[in-house]
Amino acid sequence: MINATACGVIEAARRARRQIARVYAARHGILGALAEDLIDTSKDRASAIGRLREAPGSAFGSCRFKLRPFEQDRSQYDRLIEVFRAHDIGYFFYNGGNDSMDTALKVSQVSAAAGYPVACVGIPKTIDNDLPLTDSCPGFGSVAKYVATSIYEAGLDVASMYKTSTQVFVLEVMGRNAGWITAACGVAAQAPDDAPQILLFPEIPFDEPRFLARVKEVVERVGWCAIAASEGLRGTDGKLLLEGGLRDAFGHVQLGGVAPLLARRVSEGLKYKCHWAVADYLQRAARHLASRVDVDQAYRLGAAAVTLAIEGRNGVMPTIVRVADRPYRWKIDAAELKDVANREKKLPREYVSVDGFHITDRCRRYIAPLMQGEAFPRFRNGLPDYVQLRNAPVAKKLADFKI
Amino acid sequence: MINATACGVIEAARRARRQIARVYAARHGILGALAEDLIDTSKDRASAIGRLREAPGSAFGSCRFKLRPFEQDRSQYDRLIEVFRAHDIGYFFYNGGNDSMDTALKVSQVSAAAGYPVACVGIPKTIDNDLPLTDSCPGFGSVAKYVATSIYEAGLDVASMYKTSTQVFVLEVMGRNAGWITAACGVAAQAPDDAPQILLFPEIPFDEPRFLARVKEVVERVGWCAIAASEGLRGTDGKLLLEGGLRDAFGHVQLGGVAPLLARRVSEGLKYKCHWAVADYLQRAARHLASRVDVDQAYRLGAAAVTLAIEGRNGVMPTIVRVADRPYRWKIDAAELKDVANREKKLPREYVSVDGFHITDRCRRYIAPLMQGEAFPRFRNGLPDYVQLRNAPVAKKLADFKI
């Protein structure tokens, strides 16, 4: 949904020409801002910008990059101010999760201190849905719709053939330490024996004997069992189930692989035939099955960020406020970045059933509205027709900067 | 698409009331026929039957079950004739791949020999697309659309963030020994540097050093690389890459797991950050992203099967005949089951590029039309609203039969 938000920002800015002459996008997020690698979005027509609403990925590139701690080394912050000053940039919109909100806050503070005050507005975006003070985060509703649809469909497949083939199916979903996406799978189960019958949350320690007993019980009652498991599943010892596996360049455990591990335990422990799927980026990029509510919220938050900036607000983040569950109504408000940054909103215990294996009605009431409505992209020759922007570079004015 | 075909059969039969009083469905395929576990489809309204066009899985259940070899033991065939006779069944429609076409052929032969001739019509259906004499098999076009869309979308995601995160993405797809689904992923690449840049077919022996060299070359040129790999990938020794892994109850290697294996090799051999996905049943059940051409063909083949049966044809299978590629035109014909059964249509070598890592234009011309058009299901409360039939049982008339 990062593109839908960009669309909201750019379209709102184009309507506010008196305050904002043009919108530059930093290529690959903060990296592009540091490298003075800027894109002039005014070179793209309104029709192309409009189509950002229906494009996955990030049209300008993104990054996973944390600025060095401000207290230890402010050269990166100083460089940002230098770039802003060189290009007469007065507003800084930064889209992302916890880390990004922290960056936006720091930039706001540094720019004020440097005598070149930039209005910094963070805009929430994370499929992990773990930002505080906003009822939901763009990206989550669409991933929720995709994973719930996927396990619903796969469950129908397993239900068709369990007599002579697969009896247990495991779908692994993302979300790191937060069980929001796992919980979303649970919305597909509209009756107790529907798929998925078992959810494994990162917040609930994985107890293998209890798990196997539950699988057995479900297979004996229903004939088959569909399980949604979080990539960030942890054992009763608090360690990630994938602790022993691949590590990335920073030494972090690389997530992905819980599903085959669980399938092996079920297959060896209970002798049921298992299949497993790991959706990985498919869930995050599945713009073909986006939630209309999610797209609308992403767009409106982008537009609201521009309004906040023009009103002179600084160090803030527009938020979604839920007005009612059924029918779902929401509005936009704003929170201070200092109250948002570096805080994580995990799945509350009362959203998980007492036995730890499913969601409660309260959780369902929270998640279901976020996946409402469809927003299919246009298709061409059988495939989604996602826009490619021109991404015209802005001429550099400064010397190179070593990141 | 098995449900769309069932819809075609039932609707055509309802229009031919003078010849066909009612359609019974065998619960869980041939197992239900043996167990006399029949469903009376006439108990479902036309509106519910019509919605089978947009339901995944198999509304009446399916099975993976091969009758015992006819020459060794004909008791199962005799039982089928007994069930047909007890319920005045004159037409037998059997939906599936190679094994199923063989079963349909045998039933036709045995019934004639038993003096209770049943018109047996096989109807093609296999996502593996490996039946001979039909230009394509229902199920394949939709899986093709899903996997091509998925790797296109995931590729956009990787292209957004490769500078600081994942550089190599591997998607594992189904197809067993046939590379049709892997080839379908290739249709997403409309330019040489588009995702997927590398395809790994089961028909092309996997040569690890050549593969790693190609990945390196792509990452150095494009910045990132998306790979689609077949679950049935084999080494230069002819053995499945998954040979050492899980086996099912019959001792067959259980497929699934090639993607993490490849990701590990890339990650260890080239030090690139990798992510991987295994779509497994998600691809087969993804009715939310079906190809309209596929749905239409599945439906029309079902209707054509009824016409063939009423015309007194026996031991035949309706087929898709391609009339033209662009614009795509097709018609229905029929083939003899004896020419279809137990023959496998692999991906022709001329559909694979000389270097073995991609598809040729000829392959693209073959596959692209099959994924044309969308056929979104209806949605309710944010999820697809797939029909649930009543599946009213037919009263049994015979003694139990031990399968």
> Is A339 one of the catalytic residues?
no
Confidence of residue A296 (pLDDT cuts 50, 70, 90): very high
Residue of B nearest to A327 (CA): B381
A-facing residues of B in 216-255 (CB < 8 A) are 246, 248-249, 254
**Greater model confidence, A403 or A300:** A300
As a whole number, mean pLDDT of residues B118-129 equals 95
Nearest by CB to A156, from B57, B65, B149: name it.
B57
Instruction: List, in order, residues 6 or more apart from A132 with CB less than 8 Å away.
Output: A339, A340, A343, A344, A345
| pLDDT recorded at residue A210 | 98
As a whole number, mean pLDDT of residues B280-302 equals 98
As a whole number, mean pLDDT of residues A72-77 equals 90
The DSSP H or E segment spanning B198 is strand B198-200
Q: How many CB pairs under 8 A join A and B?
A: 211
B150 touches A at CB < 8 Å: yes
| pLDDT recorded at residue B249 | 53
| pLDDT recorded at residue B153 | 98
Instruction: List, in order, residues 6 or more apart from B330 with CB less than 8 Å away.
Output: B135, B297, B320, B321, B322, B323
As a whole number, mean pLDDT of residues A25-48 equals 96
B161 touches A at CB < 8 Å: yes
- Indicate whether B246 pLDDT > 70: no
Q: Encode pLDDT of A236-256 as tens digits.
A: 999 999 876 666 655 667 778
Measured between alpha carbons, how far is A181 from A370 in angstroms, rounded to an integer?
A: 12
The DSSP-derived string for B4-73 is HHHHHHHHHHHHTTTT-S--EEETTTHHHHHHT-EEEGGGS-HHHHHGGGG--S-TT------PPPTTT-
Measured between alpha carbons, how far is A313 from A5 in angstroms, rounded to an integer?
A: 19
Instruction: List, in order, residues 6 or more apart from B304 with CB less than 8 Å away.
Output: B8, B318, B332, B334
Contact (Cβ atoms closer than 8 angstroms) between residue B303 and residue B9: yes
Q: List, in sequence order, every residue forming a beta bridge with A200; answer none if it has no partner.
A: A229
The end-to-end CA distance of chain A, in Å, is 28
Q: pTM surpassing 0.95?
A: yes
Query: Could you tell me the sign of the dihedral formed by the alpha carbons of A230, A235, A237, A242, in that order?
Result: negative
- CA torsion angle for A123, A129, A130, A132 (degrees, to 10)? 50
As a whole number, mean pLDDT of residues B199-218 equals 98
Q: What are phi and psi of A396, to 5 degrees?
A: -75, 150
3-state secondary structure of B386: coil
Measured between alpha carbons, how far is B144 from B290 in angstroms, rounded to an integer?
A: 9
As a whole number, mean pLDDT of residues A250-264 equals 83
- Indicate whether A116 pLDDT > 70: yes
| pLDDT recorded at residue A73 | 87
| pLDDT recorded at residue B243 | 78
Q: What distance in Å separates residue B284's CA from the closest CA in chain A?
A: 8
The DSSP H or E segment spanning A11 is helix A2-15
| pLDDT recorded at residue B244 | 62
Instruction: List, in order, residues 6 or more apart from B78 with CB less than 8 Å away.
Output: B110, B114
Cβ distance A382 to B148 less than 8 Å, yes or no, reads yes
Nearest by CB to B63, from A55, A163, A280: name it.
A163
- Indicate whether B250 pLDDT > 60: no
Least confident of A252-256, A367-371, B311-315, B375-379: A252-256
- Indicate whether B294 pLDDT > 90: yes
Measured between alpha carbons, how far is A304 from A310 in angstroms, rounded to an integer?
A: 10
Nearest by CB to B153, from A65, A286, A368: name it.
A286
Measured between alpha carbons, how far is A32 from A298 in angstroms, rounded to an integer?
A: 22
Measured between alpha carbons, how far is A61 from A72 in angstroms, rounded to an integer?
A: 28
3-state secondary structure of A403: coil
B286 touches A at CB < 8 Å: yes
Confidence of residue B252 (pLDDT cuts 50, 70, 90): low
Q: Encode pLDDT of B340-368 as tens digits.
A: 987 889 899 999 999 999 999 999 999 99
3-state secondary structure of B318: strand
Measured between alpha carbons, how far is A51 from A302 in angstroms, rounded to an integer?
A: 15
B149 touches A at CB < 8 Å: yes
Q: What are phi and psi of A321, to 5 degrees?
A: -115, 130
Residue of B nearest to A372 (CA): B382
Cβ distance B163 to A63 less than 8 Å, yes or no, reads yes
Q: Encode pLDDT of A185-194 as tens digits.
A: 999 999 999 9
Q: Encode pLDDT of A271-294 as tens digits.
A: 999 999 999 999 999 999 999 999
Cα atoms found within 13 Å of the Cα of residue B342, Cβ hemisphere only? 7
Short-list B314, B366, B361, CA closest to B338 = B314
B154 touches A at CB < 8 Å: yes
As a whole number, mean pLDDT of residues A140-144 equals 98
A371 touches B at CB < 8 Å: yes
Q: What distance in Å separates residue B311's CA from the closest CA in chain A?
A: 31
Residue of A nearest to B66 (CA): A164
B-facing residues of A in 61-90 (CB < 8 A) are 61-65
Q: What distance in Å separates residue B340's CA from the closest CA in chain A?
A: 24
The DSSP H or E segment spanning B185 is helix B180-186
Angle at the Cα of A260 from the Cα atoms of A241 and B243, rounded to 5 degrees: 130
Q: What distance in Å separates residue B135's CA from the closest CA in chain A?
A: 18
Active site residues of B: 128
- Across A11-25, A62-76, B99-113, which has the greatest mean pLDDT? A11-25
Least confident of A376-380, A399-403, B265-269, B331-335: A399-403
Q: What distance in Å separates residue A163's CA from the closest CA in chain B?
A: 7
Percent of chain B scored above 70 by pLDDT? 98
As a whole number, mean pLDDT of residues B326-335 equals 97
Contact (Cβ atoms closer than 8 angstroms) between residue A49 and residue A10: yes
As a whole number, mean pLDDT of residues A221-237 equals 97
As a whole number, the mean pLDDT across chain B is: 94
A279 touches B at CB < 8 Å: yes
Cβ distance A188 to B383 less than 8 Å, yes or no, reads yes
